[in-house]
Amino acid sequence: MERGHANGGTGSAADFIPPNASLTALRKAAATCRGCHLYKNATQTVFGEGPRHARVMFVGEQPGDAEDKAGHPFVGASGKLLDRAMEAAGLERDDAYVTNAVKHFKWAKDATGKRRIHKSPNRGEVRACVPWLEAEIARVQPEIIVALGATAGKALIGPSFSVTKQRGIEQKTAWAPSLVATIHPSAVLRAPRPIREREERAFIADLAKVARLLAHGKRERTHRRSDKLLPWSATEAPSLTSSAQTRSSRR
């Protein structure tokens, strides 16, 4: 029997999260999540990966085509760019926990019916999936969270989040002692030729800021269970009305 609203569940991933589970047990449980409809058209759940007590956690939007097939986050074109930028900024990918706001690939067929085109998750889908992210954060307790792009920013900070206004600025949240947002690597890849290099440099500069914050010394890992503070717990769910919702692009 499917769990969900009709049966008194939350209609979200929360119905599938075993209490007090380890990261490994969470990953296993996420593989059979039916917290929203996105599992139906995707190959598999793509859960976060990285050291259990990573000091820094990167949060993207959702797996893309390559991640959906491979079962690992950020292994496609965006992931390659992220790897390069992290290296240029002095961050080790192997030291970071890398995950996404939404764990299943949302897509639609292109006009030829041959290619799967990325569709940004809507606010209901982010809301349904965010309990996994919260569980990951609670286990890893990163000192710094890096939100990659608008979907991650809105999921973590709330509907008023703006990448252009808040990128590269250290913010305090209930999730972790520090949060730094930047653009999504796919936005760098999509940038028109003349500004592409500049966008990549700016992306690296934001990550270099994260590297500096980490080098400045350890932050106390203070993740609180913050059900009342999360943007998604508000009675009125925030709306993800940015162009990210309607934009369809390859990630």
Residue 23's identity, in one-letter code, is L
| Residue 73 binding ligand URA, by CB under 6 A | yes
Q: Report the alpha-carbon distance of residue 50 to residue 97 in Å, rounded.
A: 4
| Residue 128 binding ligand SF4, by CB under 6 A | yes
Kindly list the distances between the CA atom of residue 198 and the CA atoms of 17, 145, 176, 205, in Å, as whole numbers in the listed order: 42, 24, 30, 10
Whether 92 contacts 86, CB under 8 Å:
yes
Whether 68 contacts 39, CB under 8 Å:
no
From 100-108, 136-144, 163-171, 188-196, give the range in contact with ligand SF4 by CB under 6 A.
100-108
| Residue 74 binding ligand URA, by CB under 6 A | yes
Contacts (CB under 6 A) with ligand SF4, residues 37-66: 38-39, 45
Taking residues 110 to 129 in sequence order and writing x for each that binds ligand URA by CB under 6 A, - otherwise, the string is --------------------
Judged by CB under 6 A, the residue of 12, 100, 182, 242 near ligand URA is 100
The stretches of 10-162 forming alpha helices (DSSP H) are 23-30, 65-70, 77-89, 123-140, 149-157
For the CB of residue 198, give the shortest distance to ligand SF4 in the complex, in Å. Answer: 34
Q: Which does 203 bind (CB under 5 to 8 A by kind): ligand SF4, ligand URA, none?
A: none
Closest CB to ligand SF4 among residues 48, 79: 48
Strands (DSSP E) contained in 110-160 are 116-118, 144-148
Dihedrals φ, ψ of 54, to 5°? Answer: -55, 145
| Residue 116 binding ligand SF4, by CB under 6 A | no
Contacts (CB under 6 A) with ligand URA, residues 175-194: 186
For the CB of residue 149, give the shortest distance to ligand URA in the complex, in Å. Answer: 7
Rg (the chain; Cα; Å): 17
Q: Report the alpha-carbon distance of residue 187 to residue 184 in Å, rounded.
A: 5
For the CB of residue 105, give the shortest distance to ligand URA in the complex, in Å. Answer: 9
**Could you tell me the sign of the dihedral formed by the alpha carbons of 91, 96, 100, 106, in that order?**
positive
Whether 150 contacts 251, CB under 8 Å:
no
The encoded tokens of residue 74 equal: 């950020």
From 64-72, 128-136, 138-146, 211-219, give the range in contact with ligand SF4 by CB under 6 A.
128-136
| Residue 129 binding ligand SF4, by CB under 6 A | yes
Whether 128 contacts 11, CB under 8 Å:
yes
For the CB of residue 186, give the shortest distance to ligand URA in the complex, in Å. Answer: 6
| Residue 45 binding ligand URA, by CB under 6 A | no
Dihedrals φ, ψ of 99, to 5°? Answer: -150, -170
| Residue 126 binding ligand SF4, by CB under 6 A | no
DSSP tag of 56: E
| Residue 78 binding ligand URA, by CB under 6 A | yes
For the CB of residue 18, give the shortest distance to ligand URA in the complex, in Å. Answer: 24
Give the binding site for ligand SF4 (CB under 6 A): 13, 30, 33-36, 38-39, 45, 102-104, 128-129, 132
